[in-house]
Amino acid sequence: MNRTIGRVALGVLLATSASTLHAQGMQASNSGMTVAALKARLNTLLSEHVYLAAAATGSALGGRQAEFQAAAGALDKNSVDVSKAIGMVYGTGAETAFLALWRKHIGFVVDYTTGIATKDKAKADKAVADLVQYTQDFGAFLASANPNLPKSVVADLVKGHVLTLKTVIDAQQTGDAAKTYMTLREAAMHMQMIADPLADAIAKQFPGKFVN
Amino acid sequence: MSGVVLRNPLSLEQPAVRSLILVALMATIDPPSDSSPAPVRVEIRTFQFAPDTARIALGTKVVWTNQDEIEHTVTAGKPSEREGAFNVVLKTKGAIAERTFTTAGTFTYFCDRHQFMRGTINVTR
């Protein structure tokens, strides 16, 4: 319900707010790309992020070290691709900053997974607190990059990502396969609520650079 | 009528007004007494210091402005090697930090909350 409200609120804001960064002369370098293609790209990257993160946490909780290393490596390649998508629009400085910020939240997820695996409640609780704080950072980053993305709305949507992924990890920890895969689908589908508004906001910010 | 005489408060016949005008003219004519270099501005936006490297003359004031809706800091040194010379918290968007550099050299700084954010000030004589 909250996620739906957040998405509607973001849609309304996208329809009404002006693109000040465009007025400041910032340019996207990928003219000719359709909004649909941008949306598809972001959806692919962000849902892949969830599946690879779950693969990493599942193998870590199962004690399958080699598989964890492979999954973590693939997850980081996905992080680089997500950052490149940001850099394509906002430049290499933003790409570098975004990648560092994005990797931080993966580190917190690893901390949470380690905490519940070792029954270290304090570590798990701290990781959750760090992840909640991270949603504010992430919201601030995108709000700064794009005036069509209000910090609080983005933060709420990312909080949804954090919580849905946490539910997957908790299910993995209990060994409930059915629940793991049901919640994994939900977590992956949630990413559309971030990817679609993000693509719409970028297209609105750079009119003429993305074809409808 | 009450008999009160209203006087033009800006009459040139009043000595105080003449003095004020003289002072204003002198202020206009005299060169500024402060010969320090113009401040250099560093913007904090999308979790970056921009410019990330600033080259300034000795005695220049650097002004950092937070353009992100989140707390950042301007902290001297590197995360692994804090220098303690300055550590200013910029709570939210619009917050400003200032520092005048009176020693030549290279000064690194970072954001303590987002330690991947780094900047450098090169001060020359």
Q: Do B47 and A144 touch (CB under 8 A)?
A: yes
Chosen for mutation from A144, A146, A152 (greatest number of chain B CBs closer than 10 Å) is A144
Give the C-alpha separation, A40 to B47, whole Å.
Answer: 27
B114: nearest CA partner in chain A: A101
How far is A178 from chain B, CA to nearest CA, in Å? Answer: 38
Number of H helices, E strands in chain B: 1, 9
At A44-101, the pLDDT tens digits run 999 999 999 999 999 999 999 999 999 999 999 999 999 999 999 999 999 999 999 9
pLDDT in tens, chain B (125 residues): 333 333 444 454 555 545 544 444 444 444 444 577 899 999 999 999 999 999 999 999 999 999 999 999 999 999 999 999 999 999 999 999 999 999 999 999 999 999 999 999 999 99
Report pLDDT for A1: 42
* pTM recorded for the entire structure: 0.80
> Distance (Å) from the C-alpha of residue B119 to the closest C-alpha of chain A?
13
Q: What does the longest C-alpha to C-alpha distance in chain A come to?
A: 53
- Cβ neighbours for B11, distance < 8 A, ≥ 6 positions apart: B17
Mutate which of A79, A141, A158 to test chain B, going by most B C-beta atoms within 10 A? A141
Cα A49–Cα A52–Cα A53 angle in degrees, nearest 5: 80
pLDDT of residue A207: 87
Cα Rg of chain A, angstroms: 17
Pair B107, B120: CB distance under 8 Å: yes
pLDDT of residue B15: 56
User: Taking 80 as the threshold, does the pLDDT of residue A188 lie above it?
Assistant: yes
pLDDT at position B34: 59
Q: Is A136 on the interface with B (CB under 8 A)?
A: yes
The answer to whether the CB atoms of B114 and A93 lie below 8 A apart is no
Is 60 exceeded by the pLDDT of residue A168? yes
What per-residue confidence (pLDDT) applies to A32?
A: 77
Q: Helix (H, G, I), strand (E, B), or coil: what is residue B7?
A: coil
Q: What is the pLDDT, as a whole number, of residue B13?
A: 55
pLDDT of residue A31: 55
Nearest to A52 by CA among A81, A87, A88, A91: A81
Distance (Å, whole) CA A170 – CA A112: 10
pLDDT in tens, A11-45: 433 433 333 333 333 344 555 789 999 999 999 99
Q: Tabulate helix, strand, coil % of chain B (nearest 5).
A: 10, 45, 45
Sign of CA dihedral B83, B85, B89, B94: negative
At A208 the pLDDT is: 84
**What's the average model confidence in pLDDT over A158-181?**
98
Amino acid type, B122: N
